[in-house]
Amino acid sequence: MAPNAGSSSQKGEGNLGKKIILGGVSVMLVVAVVVAAVSFSTRTHGDKSDEHLSTSVKAVNTICAPTDHKESCENVMNEAVQNNGGNTDPKELVKAAFHAAIEELKSVFNMSAGMGQKESDPMTKMALSDCEDLMQSAIQELQASFSAVGDKELHTLSDRIDEIKNWLSAVLSYQQACMDGVPHPEVKSAISNGMVNATQLTSNALAIVSEVAAILSAFNIPFNFNPNKRKLLSEMDSKGFPTWLSAADRKLLAFKDTQKLNPDVVVAQDGSGNFKTINDALKNIPKSRSGRYVIYVKAGIYREQVLIENEMENIFMYGDGPRKTVVTASKNYVDGTPTYQTATFAAEGNGFICKSMGFRNTAGPEKHQAVAVRVKSDMSAFYNCRMDAYQDTLYVQTHRQFYRNCIISGTVDFIFGDSAVVLQNCKLIVRKPMDNQQNIVTAQGRTDKREPTGIVIHNCRIVPEMKLYASRFTTKTYLGRPWKEYSRTIIMESTIADFIQSDGYMPWDGDFALKTLYYAEYGNRGPGARTTRRVRWPGVKVINRREALQYTVGSFLDGQSWLPATGAPFMPGLRA
C-alpha cells in the first residue's frame, strides 16, 4: 500500500514456467561450481585430514564472502558439513542452503495461516491470506531450485545469470509485500520477525549469483560469461520473427490489425461472443492447451475484478481501444481491502500480453490506496492501454515488464513496485489530489542493492490533467520518493512539464533511504527537466549516455530476447 503524501504508513501488500526452473537450476549450479572449484584448488596441498578441513573452510568462506549476512550463510553451510560427517559434496551444501530457506518460508506460511484462522479483524485476515499466497509463490520457486540440484549441464551456467537474479529478486519482493500488507502492528511485527532468516538467506543467494565471477577469480579460475550462446528470441528469420516461434504464433503476431485476428474466445456483454464476462472466459481456458491463448474483449464497460492466475501463462488479451473496452472496479483501502487485493485487473501468469484496453479504479482520491492494474507476470507487455486511478494506480509488482504507448494517470505514488520495468512512449498524467496532498509519480521498492529492478521512464511525457492545471504550482508534484531502501528510478529522454517541483524528489520518512537510493535523469526536455536545483542526495544524479544505455529496453530488460514475440513495438536503445 502506498501512504498518503506526508503519511508514515507503508505500502501494502502454481504452475511455474520453464524459466523459473531454469533459473533455479542455475542458482544451484553457481554454488556447485564454486564449491567444486574450491575443492579442486585445495586438493593438492597437505595431508588428507588437513586437506579436507581446509577445503571445507575455504569452500564455505569463499561462497559466503560476498553476502551481506555472512553469519546466516556460514551457519547453514557449516551445519550441513557437520550433519554429513564432514562431507563437502557441493550438491549437499547447495541442498542445505536452499532447504534452510524453504523451511523458513514454510514457517512464515504456517504462521500466517495460523494467525489468519484466529484473526477476527477482516482486513488483517485478508492481509494474512495474501501472505499465504505470496509465501507459496516464493516456496514453489525455491523448491524448483532445490529439486534441480542434480542437473549436470554446467556449461549453461553463464547463460542464466540474469534469469537467476530476476527470480531471486521476485522472492525478496514477495516477502516484503507480505510484511507491508499487514495493518495490525503486533501481527506485522510477528510476521517481520519470522521473515528475517528467510529474507537473509534469499539475499545471500542473490549475492552469490551476482558475484560468482569474482568468487571464481579469487581462486584463479576463469569464468566466461557468453550471453551470445543463449537461445535468443532475437535470432530472427527473414520476416522478423524468432526462428523458434511456432507457426501459429507467427500468424498471430503478423496481424497489425487485431480486428482480423481469429481469437480462441470472444467476450461480449451483448451475448454475441462466447462469454459475457472476462472472468467466465478465464475460467474456461482449456487445461490441456498449448501455445498462446487469445481472448478478444469487445467494446463495453466490464464491471468486474479480473485475475490472470499464475497457471494462466501466455495469454494475449485485446480490446477495441482503451476508451471502448474498459474494465472497472472500486475496491480500496479505506473501505477495508488490503492494497494487494484492490487491483481491478491483475496479471500473474507469465508472458501476458495486453493491447487496446482500459482499466480503472473509480474509488476516488478520498479512498487512498486503490490499484487499477497489478502485474507480476514475467516478460509481460502492455500496448496502447490506459490505467486510471488516483493513489497507487499501477502496481508493477515483480519480474520484467514493458509498457508502450500507454496512458497512466494518478496522484500519490501512482507507479510503484519492485519489478524491472520500462515505460516507453507513454503519457503519465498527474491528477488533482485531495486538499493538502502532494503528488508523486513513482515509488520504487527495491530492498536489496543487488536486485536488477527499477522503474525506467523512457521517451514519455509527464503532464498535469486539466483539473490540476490552474493549481499546478500550488499543488506540489514530485518525480519520486523512496518506498524502500534501495529505491531506483531513471527518467530519460522524456518531456517534463513545468509543474514538477524543482527539487524533483521528496523524502519518504525523514532521512530513510536518502543515502542508498538511485534517481537518475538523462536527456530530458521541457521546463520541468531542469536539474540545477534538484535535491543534493548522494544518489540523485544526472547521468551520461554510457550510463543511460544500461537502462534501455535492450540492456535493462534484455528486451531483444523476448519483446519481438509479444508483437509490441519497442525501441531497444536511446533515441539519439
Q: Is 429 helix (H, G, I), strand (E, B) or coil?
A: strand
Half-sphere exposure for 376 (CA within 13 Å, toward CB): 26
Q: DSSP 3-state assignment of 132? A: helix
* Rounded CA separation 231/319 (Å): 32
The answer to whether the Cα torsion of 360, 365, 371, 373 is positive or negative is positive
* C-alpha separations of 405 from 285, 386, 411, 423 in Å: 29, 9, 20, 8
280 catalytically annotated: no
What residues does 429 pair with on adjacent strands? Answer: 409, 463
Q: b/e map of 340-359 (b: 16 or more CB within 10 Å)?
A: bbbbbbbbbbbbbbbbbbbb
Give me the phi and psi of 444, to 5 degrees please: -90, 145
Please give the order of strands across the beta sheet that includes 420-424.
265-267, 293-297, 315-318, 353-355, 380-383, 400-404, 420-424, 454-458, 488-492, 518-522, 540-542
3-state DSSP call for residue 2?
Answer: coil
Q: Rounded distance, CA 559 to CA 565, Å?
A: 10
Cβ partners under 8 Å of residue 200, min gap 6: 68, 69, 72
Q: Which residues, in sequence order, are CB contacts of 401 under 8 Å at separation 6+?
A: 375, 377, 380, 381, 382, 419, 420, 421, 422
Using an 8 Å Cβ cutoff, are 136 and 128 in contact? no
Beta strands in 418-487 (DSSP E): 420-424, 427-430, 439-444, 454-458, 461-464, 477-480
- Among the listed residues 378, 413, 448, 558, the single catalytic one is 413
The candidate with the shortest Cα–Cα distance to 566, out of 400, 398, 408, 428, is 400
At 146, phi and psi to the nearest 5? -60, -45
- Residue 457: partners with Cβ closer than 8 Å, 6 or more residues away: 423, 426, 428, 442, 489, 490, 491, 492, 494
Residue type present at position 56: S
- The C-alpha cell at 276 is 459475457
Integer Cα distance of 435 and 127 in angstroms: 29
Active site residues: 413
